[in-house]
Amino acid sequence: MVASVNTAKKKLQSVTRSVSQSLKTQPTSVDASLFLKQKLSGQKLEDCQALLQLFSTVTKQPAVMWGSIIGFGQYHYRYASGREGDWPITGFAARKNDITIYLMNGFMFTKRFYLSLVNIKPVSHVYI
């Protein structure tokens, strides 16, 4: 009886650990355009506004804030370990030194986006 209780506790701890390790980055209701105007200025703001327009046009999806990532579309993933979550199919983030573009390969509009860039081979993220 004690062994089965200990086994159950270990399984519960494993599940609890897995849940606590889930992604902190979740979609929010923050307006992406307003977020950019509040956080950026100058050339970086202009570049991000151009990217916002480009991503909206190419993906035909609304911009959704995922923490500091401006995402377009959404997909659900599940690893062999059992960990799973949701993530934007594509998007970008204005970082301190760069703008990072996130592209999940295998989705039709990320392929269209790749075609709109010159001399970029498919990878999961591009720093510009």
Segment 68-92, tens digit of pLDDT: 999 999 989 888 999 899 999 889 9
Q: Is the pLDDT of residue 120 over 60?
A: no
Give the pLDDT score at 18: 46
* Closest among 22, 126, 29, 110 to 72, alpha carbons compared: 110
Q: Please say whether the beta carbons of 113 and 103 come within 8 A.
A: yes
- Helix, strand, coil abundance in the chain, percent, nearest 5: 40, 25, 35
**Of 78 and 114, which is predicted with more confidence?**
78
* Closest among 37, 105, 30 to 68, alpha carbons compared: 30
Give the pLDDT score at 15: 45
Exposed/middle/buried for residue 107 (C-beta within 10 Å: 0-12, 13-18, 19+): middle
pLDDT tens, residue by residue, 12-58: 444 444 443 556 789 999 999 999 999 999 999 999 999 999 999 98
Q: Is the pLDDT of residue 103 over 60?
A: yes
